[in-house]
């Protein structure tokens, strides 16, 4: 009898643990469905309707290719497509890094003096309003056609979001904290790098999220204007060649590759921002709890 009374609680405990783990799995599945289910269903319906419409309407592939034609074109030109994607990634990443360094650096310079900010910041706004296609020929003349000019174009498109967001963050530092640093006789450099710059990190991250996607767009635009063709051409060059040859399916494949590249770039920057801010900033703490 003693053995039975001792084993009965163990069985009930194991059953309770199994039920609890099952509830956790069900809740996680429900959360995953709420997050991924509706977009997945909408995507399947859209692709299926597109395929069905093209088949029933009898449209020529060069006018509107079917999704299956796009996948087939991507598989047939996989090696060339990968080279184009890799070239565009290299140009976009280099332009993005350059926009970070110079954008944050110039923002620190402007925030260090109101006189410098009032003198220079209006010209940064004017530079942002000039269409990039208007100054691209000048960039090609100065830096030559090829990767150097494309990197400069990607940098120019992503520079202003980094500058403006970082400057707003540096100017939004709590005045009480600045007064505290002043009472402790902190220098302007100490206040900038130990108070204002850490407090501006959420704004810098917001600029990163904007600039990373713009860098991809800038690289592709630069390839249209200043790119060099051949086997190492980027997505912009591949799109130009596909459109001139009426290879519409491959044109769609290149466009979708550019879109996926921008999405992947944004997700990487978003993951980096969560890693940086989730332990102390309220915005990412709330999103991580949810």
Do the domain assignments include residue 88?
yes
For residue 242, being part of any structural domain is answered with yes
Amino acid 8: pLDDT: 47
Provide the pLDDT for residue 130. 84
Q: How many domains does the chain have?
A: 1
Q: Residue 286 corresponds to which tokens in the numbers above?
A: 């709330």
pLDDT of the residue at 11? 47
Q: Which pLDDT tens digits describe the chain residue by residue (290 residues)?
A: 444 444 444 444 455 555 566 666 666 677 767 777 777 888 889 889 988 988 888 888 888 898 999 999 999 988 889 999 999 999 999 999 999 999 999 999 999 988 988 999 888 888 888 888 888 888 888 888 888 889 999 999 999 999 999 999 999 888 888 888 888 888 888 899 899 998 899 999 999 999 999 999 989 988 888 766 655 788 888 888 888 888 899 999 999 999 999 999 999 998 888 888 776 666 656 544 44
Please report, for the domain that includes residue 97, its CATH number.
1.10.3720.10
pLDDT of amino acid 203: 92
Query: Would you say 236 and 159 are in contact if contact means Cβ atoms under 8 Å apart?
Result: no
**262-268, long-range: CB within 8 Å, 24+ apart, which pairs?**
262/212, 262/213, 262/216, 262/217, 265/92, 265/96, 265/212, 265/213, 265/215, 265/216, 266/209, 266/212, 266/213, 268/212
**Residue 103 in domain:** yes
Q: Is 87 a member of any domain?
A: yes
Pick the closest to residue 88 from 1, 142, 154 (CA basis). Answer: 154
Residue 263 CB-half CA count within 13 A: 6
**pLDDT of res. 215:** 92
Angstrom distance (rounded) from CA 31 to CA 29: 5
Query: Could you tell me the residue range of the domain that residue 97 belongs to?
Result: 78-289
Q: Would you say residue 241 lies in a domain?
A: yes
171 contacts 258 by C-beta, under 8 angstroms = no
Asked if residue 22 is part of any domain, the answer here is: no
Asked whether residue 167 is assigned to any structural domain, the reply reads: yes
Residue at 91 is within a domain: yes
């Amino acid at each position: 009898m003693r053995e039975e009374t001792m084993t009965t609680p163990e069985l009930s405990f194991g059953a309770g643990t199994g039920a609890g783990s099952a509830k956790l799995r069900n809740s996680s599945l429900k959360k995953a469905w709420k997050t991924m289910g509706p977009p997945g269903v909408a995507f399947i319906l859209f692709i299926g309707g597109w395929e069905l419409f093209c088949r029933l309407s009898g449209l020529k592939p060069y006018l509107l290719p079917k999704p299956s034609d796009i996948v087939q074109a991507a598989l047939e030109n996989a090696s060339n497509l990968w080279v184009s994607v890799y070239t565009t990634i290299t140009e976009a990443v280099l332009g993005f890094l350059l926009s970070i360094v110079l954008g944050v650096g110039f923002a620190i310079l402007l925030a260090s003096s109101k006189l410098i900010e009032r003198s220079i910041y209006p010209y940064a706004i004017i530079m942002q309003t000039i269409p990039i296609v208007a100054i691209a020929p000048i960039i090609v003349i100065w830096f030559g056609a090829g990767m150097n000019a494309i990197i400069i174009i990607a940098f120019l498109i992503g520079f202003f979001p980094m500058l403006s967001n970082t400057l707003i963050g540096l100017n939004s530092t709590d005045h009480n904290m600045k007064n505290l640093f002043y009472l402790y006789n902190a220098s302007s450099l100490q206040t900038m790098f130990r108070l204002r710059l850490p407090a501006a990190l959420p704004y810098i991250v917001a600029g990163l999220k904007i600039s990373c996607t713009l860098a991809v767009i800038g690289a592709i635009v630069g390839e249209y204007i200043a790119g060099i063709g051949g086997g190492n051409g980027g997505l912009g060059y591949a799109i130009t060649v596909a459109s001139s040859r009426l290879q519409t399916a491959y044109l769609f494949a290149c466009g979708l590759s550019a879109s996926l590249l921008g999405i992947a770039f944004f997700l990487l920057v978003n993951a980096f921002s969560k890693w940086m801010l989730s332990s102390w900033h309220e915005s990412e703490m709330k999103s991580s709890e949810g």
